[in-house]
Each structure stands twice: as structure tokens, then as C-alpha cells.
Amino acid sequence: MRRVGEANGVRVKAYAGTTGILLAFDIEAGKREDLLGFAISREIRSGRFAGRIGWLQGILDFPGTTKARGELIATNVAPIQKFRWSDYSVYPSTQYAYTVQPVYRSDSSLVTSSNRRLFLEAGPQVVIETQGFQGEDAIIFNRAVASSQAFSRRFPDLDVEIQKAKEAGTLGRKTLPQRALDWLSRGLVEQIESFLAQAEDASWALDLAIYEYHLPRLHQAMVAAGERGVKVRILYHAKEEDDATVENKHLLHTPEIPGATLFPRITTAIMHNKFVVLSRIKPNGCYTPVALLAGSTNWSENGCYRQANVVHISRTPSILENYATMFETLIATRTDRRATKSSINKNNKIPTAPERFGGFSPRSKFADISAIANLIAGAERDVLFATAFQLRDEITEALLGTANDTILRMGIQNSSSAKITGIHRDRTAHFTAASLLPDGLEGWLKESTAKQKGAIRVHTKAIIIDVTSDAPLIISGSHNFSTNASRNNDENYLIIRRDRDVADAYLCEIMRIYDHYRFRFSARERSKAGKPTAPPSLAGDNSWCDDYFADGNLKNLDRIRFAGLTG
């Protein structure tokens, strides 16, 4: 959902995802003198918290702040000095009203935290509702990012709590207490459980193709389905007793799923799928698919809680048919990867201009890579992405584009070296970002990885093209856009065009991940250069907005694109 509000020379455009709302601003030239930023108030208009009104908060203040470490500060006191801001403290299927007010200094002196000579002018209001889970597409991202200020504020004594849980024997196989895992899940695990629970009895079927089947909580949901009489079939990764296979075999039998049929996928590569087809069973025994759960999320503690991941539920009939047919193909060719590839080459040809398409690999001659690279190269306004591991050169080149083109490009990647890499608004400049602030900056809480294993932080594989237009395109799934993903592995992905709600759900979350790690890179670079470790302060005058109105500056393009202006 997108909404626009304009008043008193200020424009705000809102993009609503499932658990995030992005706000983009613009302001007339005559109103920029002495502008110190924007104050944003929010009213919750539906749901259990309806009627609550308050100011959005940030962590930056004017010079000379004495606020406590990690303390947030309201934007009417310390305004937002950006033309794009996001609210991630929202709930699905909830209506919100945002009022955006320009903040000015009341005299010519520079503003400091002890000299707040501010006044707020009237501004526009925009009313918008977050997405729910009942439409043709339902999308949820976990919160992940344990290495964050929000996690550190919410769980300040986590190390002590973990030790107590270990001593009491209540931690079990988990690396974190359940309440911390629930916060990191942000409803993702619950949505998987809810999806599985739709299979009520013996007239329903669940077909699961899974790489890592390691989370006892989700296994219990499958056991419960079997106990209800649901027809359960599971195709799982089985590769010469590698770690994933050993754990898959262990959990699949601990305990047994009543009536389930298990199919090991014997492959020298990776059975990398993570999808479930929910079907009704007709009296003649035929299956009619009614919903698909796909995305990037492995059924493991890391996948569901720690790595940034997405679950995408689709109810599009053509896509359901694609996935249901692919599941049968995978079972029939489960010991012959060449036969799988041959079937995909023949029966899953990628359209040159797909509208809604479910794609699979392995396939020959990198046809999927070429098709996706061509879609990226056709961007007219913007390219945003969150990817993992080593990309094929064709994809990298398409994402980066050429210097001084007119495409806004921002992205984040978890590379094969386990470091986060990305590109920011000057297109060709790369950055490598630390995943946390280990020492804590002045005014910031110390962050930690909270006893969690592994080095993968971003596991989402999503690319959105021209998201600020009326015809966005989204590519999302298990596919890593790599050589192995195309040529060797079992993979799947969705391509969806012209669905702004789907695009907005991905937009809000990709920008959340991007902004999180981009800041940590900036902080680390300042530290390496020997510069003060204090985080940046707000400007005491209107110099902060100069770049947003400078021809040729990418901040200017950012403002134009997201605010929905021409140009």
C-alpha cells in the first residue's frame, strides 16, 4: 500500500510492508531556510493499541548531548535529518496515521542539545495500513540482527540469563532463551506453524521440500499434522552424510511423523529448496494445491531466528501448479539430478517478460542467470537487493550498472568470505560492513552476537527493480544467483511484476537491513581512520540538507525517487 500527503509545502509518501513502513519526504525550496529536519508523530488507529499517539524516536542528537547510553530521543526534540525514514515498530494489518512536521531554529545561532531553540510548523498527515497474511501474497521477514541496538536495549543482561538457563537445564539445544528467539523471529516461525495448521485432517496434504530440517519446534508442527491424519510427504537433502543430512535424518525420526512418506534427495550438489505446497485431496485421490510457502528460510534455529530471511506465501493458481508439479518431478528424479535438469529445461522455460512465474533449477547454460541479469539491466529507476554468497559475474555487473547512470542502486550482500558487502548510492563504491559494534560507540550500547553460531548474517535472496514506479519487479526465493545455484543445486524462485504491495513488503525490509549494516561500516571506518568514535551529531543549521538538493548527488536522486517526484 502507498499513500501520499501534502500540506504547507511538505510532501510525504508512505510505503507499507508487513512489519515496516517507509516514509519519504520532500519540501519546497522556499521552506528550506533554517530547516533542522522533520518531526514525526504517529497515531495507531486500529488493533489492540488503537488510540496511542506518540513521537517517533531516533538515537542522534544535537552536539553536547548528555543522554544515557543507548537512549532514544523523540523527533520533536531531535528531528530526523534525512529525507527517508522507516518505522519498524509496527504490526501487520494495522492502520497508522503519520504527521510530518518541518522543524526550524528560532534564531540564527547553531542549535545544541542544551540550546534547543526550535519550533515546529504544521505539516501533512498520511494514513496507511500495514499488510496482513490473507491476500494473494503474504510476506514476512524475521527481525534477526541480534547485533543491534534494539536487541541490546531489550536484552541487556542476556549473558547472565543464558548462563542461568544452562545451569537450570532449560536452554536445551537452543543458543538463546525462547523469549529472545521469539523477538528475533518477529512472527516468522508462527506464520510457518499457522500455514501448516491449515491442513486440518485427512482431506489435506503437505508436501515439503527442505534443505535444513533442524528446528524441533517446526518438526512438532509436522508431527501434529500427521496426527491429524494429514497426508505428509517430505523430500529432504541427503548428501553423503554431510552435517545437514545427519541432522535431517535425526530430527525426521525424533519422533516419527505419523503416516509420513520420506524421500531422501540423493545428490552430489545441494537440495537447497525450502518450500511447502498445501493441497486439498479430492475423493479420487488427486491433489489440488491451494497455497505455497516458499522463500529463503531454512527450518533451523539460524534460519528462523538469526539470519535475515523471508517467508513468502503465494496463492496464485499458476504458481501453485508450477510448484506442485515440481515437487512430483523431484520425487520421480530424486536419484538422478540430470533427469531433474532435463525436465526443468523442457517444462520450466523462463518468459522474457514474466508477470508471475515460479522458476526452478538446476538448468543448462545458465538460462536463469541470463534471464535475471536481463531483468536487472532493464531497470529504469532503481535496483535494490539483499543477497548471499558469491554471485555470478553477470548478476554482479547488472546490479552495479555503469558509473554515472541514472539508476538508484543500493544493496547488501553476505559474501562467501562471511563478510557483509554492499553498494551504496554512489553506485560503484563498495563497502564491507562489520556485523556489530563490539566496543560500543559513545552514546551507544555494546552489541554482541549473543552466543549464536555461524557467520551468515544476511541470508535473504531478493532483488527488487523499479520499486518506486507503478510497475515494480521482484525476484525472491532460495536461488543465490550463483554458478552452483543455476547449474547444480535444486532451487526455486518467484518473479512477480506490477504488484506494489509485494514490492513494498520487500522494499521496507531490504532498506532495514541495508541501513543497519551501512551505518556499522561508517562507524568502523571512522574508528580505523582515528577519528572520534562518537556517532555523528545532528547539524545545528540547514547544511544537512544541501546534498539532497544538489544536481548530480545521489542523495538528491534518492529524495526524488522515493518521494515519487518526476526526474
Q: What is the pLDDT along the chain (567 residues), one digit of tens a residue?
A: 899 999 999 999 999 999 999 999 999 999 999 999 999 999 999 999 999 999 999 988 998 877 776 788 999 999 999 999 999 999 999 999 999 999 998 887 788 887 888 999 999 999 999 999 999 999 999 998 766 778 878 888 887 887 887 788 877 777 888 888 999 999 999 999 999 999 999 999 999 999 999 999 999 999 999 999 999 999 999 988 789 999 999 999 999 999 999 999 988 899 999 999 999 999 999 999 999 999 999 999 999 998 899 999 999 999 999 999 999 999 999 999 999 999 999 999 999 899 999 999 999 999 999 999 999 999 999 999 998 888 899 998 898 887 778 888 888 887 754 455 666 555 545 555 444 444 544 444 455 555 455 556 789 999 999 999 999 999 999 999 999 999 999 999 999 999 999 999 999 999 998 888 777 776 666 667 776 555 678 999 999 999 999 988 888 999 999 999 986
Class of domain 348-536 as given by CATH: alpha beta
How far apart CA 517 and CA 413 sit, in angstroms, is 10
Q: Give the pLDDT score at 442.
A: 46
Dump the DSSP string for 228-287. Answer: TT-EEEEEEEE-TT-HHHHHHHHHHBTTBPTT-EEEEEE-SS-B--EEEEEEEE-TTS-E
Among 306, 250, 302, 245, which Cα is nearest to 270's? 245
Among 163, 251, 260, 268, which Cα is nearest to 212's? 251
Question: Residue 64, SS3?
Answer: coil
**Ranges for all domains in the chain classified under CATH 3.30.870.10:** 134-143+186-335, 348-536
Element (H, E) at 520: helix 500-528
Cell of 454: 555461524
Residue type at position 442: E
Q: Give the pLDDT score at 412.
A: 83
Beta strands, E only, 282-401: 287-295, 310-314, 356-361, 382-388
Cell 553498494 sits on residue: 423
Beta-bridge mates of residue 442 = none
Class of domain 2-132 as given by CATH: mainly beta
Euclidean distance between the first and the last CA atom of the chain, given in angstroms as a whole number: 22
Tell me the residue length of the chain: 567
Cα atoms in the Cβ-side hemisphere of radius 13 Å centred on 566: 0
Residue type at position 207: D
Residue 273: other Cβ atoms inside 10 A: 28
How far apart CA 18 and CA 4 sit, in angstroms, is 18
Q: Give the pLDDT score at 297.
A: 98
Residues 6+ apart with CB under 8 A from 209: 234, 235, 236, 265, 271, 273, 274, 275, 276, 327, 330, 490
Beta pairing class for 204-210 and 231-238: parallel
Dump the DSSP string for 525-560. Answer: HHHHTT---SPPPPPSSGGGGGGGGSTT-HHHHHHH
Question: Residue 138, SS3?
Answer: strand
Question: Residue 179, SS3?
Answer: helix
Q: Give the pLDDT score at 434.
A: 44
Q: Give the pLDDT score at 188.
A: 97
Class of domain 134-143+186-335 as given by CATH: alpha beta
Write the CA distances from 208 to 156, 191, 273, 363, 469, integer angstroms: 38, 16, 9, 21, 35
Residues 6+ apart with CB under 8 A from 55: 39, 40, 41, 42, 74, 75, 76
Cell of 469: 514506479
Element (H, E) at 5: strand 2-7
Q: Give the pLDDT score at 444.
A: 44
Cell 495448521 sits on residue: 197
Contact 102, 38 (CB under 8 A): yes
**Ranges for all domains in the chain classified under CATH 2.60.40.10:** 2-132
Q: Give the pLDDT score at 419.
A: 56
Q: Give the pLDDT score at 59.
A: 87
Helices (H), 93-215: 149-154, 158-168, 178-185, 188-197
Beta pairing class for 430-433 and 53-55: unpaired
Cell of 424: 551504496
